[in-house]
Amino acid sequence: MTQDPVNSDTRRPAAFLDRDGILNEDIGYAHRPDQIIWIPGAMEAVKLLNDSGFHVFVVTNQAGVARGYYTEEDVNALHDWMRRRLASFGARIDDFRFSPFHPEFDDGRFSHLAHWRKPAPGMLIDLMKNWPVKTQRSFMIGDRNSDVAAARSAGLSGHLFTGGNLLSAIQRILASVDPN
């Protein structure tokens, strides 16, 4: 659901967020709203990014689809629910991307998305092609080295979140980003 045209003259920096372990606790293959436990400070962090003029994107590997644990529709429904919950807090995710591909469970349905599975940068690059992203000041935050590697491959800074309060982590990142 794109809200800004890609040909906009107003490019803005973007925050690319992994989902599980960043916005919500990583319980393994979450795909329903009743499985979501928000990370402390997650909603406040998204709102701070919104208020600071950043596009906010979620980029998440969802191998549970390839494994047959849930469907792409389940992932989309969960993301719609997350979007509504954040909106009730005054926060906004501009767009979501997910990769259902997993090399060990590839039956051919998702092979065309192999370049989207982190540590590959495909999801980030796709978002940068479809949104007016200013790469300077843009960054990725994730809980795995594959998230940081995806960011670097896309030409962005990557930050590892090891737990705690996401708002505090985002505040530190924003303080270290060149404001120009």
CB 158 within 8 A of CB 140: yes
136 within domain boundaries: yes
Residue 80, domain CATH: 3.40.50.1000
Contacts of 148 (CB under 8 A, 6+ apart): 140, 142, 158, 159, 160
Residue 63 CA to its chain's centroid (Å): 15
Residue 141 lies in a domain: yes
User: What is the C-alpha to C-alpha distance for residues 149 and 126, in angstroms, rounded to an integer?
Assistant: 16
179 within some domain: no
**For every one of its 180 residues, what pLDDT tens digit does the chain have, with 9 covering 90 and above?**
444 445 456 899 999 999 999 999 999 999 999 999 999 999 999 999 999 999 999 999 999 999 999 999 999 999 999 999 999 999 999 999 999 999 999 899 999 999 999 999 999 999 999 999 999 999 999 999 999 999 999 999 999 999 999 999 999 999 998 666
Please indicate, yes or no, if residue 5 is contained in any of the structural domains: no
In a domain, 7, yes or no: no
Q: Which range of residues forms the domain containing residue 105?
A: 14-162
Quote the tokens at residue 13.
Answer: 């920096």
CA distance 45 to 101: 29
| Number of domains making up the chain | 1
Question: Which residues are tagged catalytic?
Answer: 18, 20
Helix (H, G, I), strand (E, B) or coil at 15: strand
pTM above 0.85, yes or no: yes
Measured distance CA(32)–CA(61) in Å, rounded: 16
- The answer as to whether 170 is a domain residue is no
* Strand, helix or coil for residue 12: strand
Whether 92 is in a domain gets the answer yes
pLDDT for residue 158: 98
- Residue 85 domain flag: yes
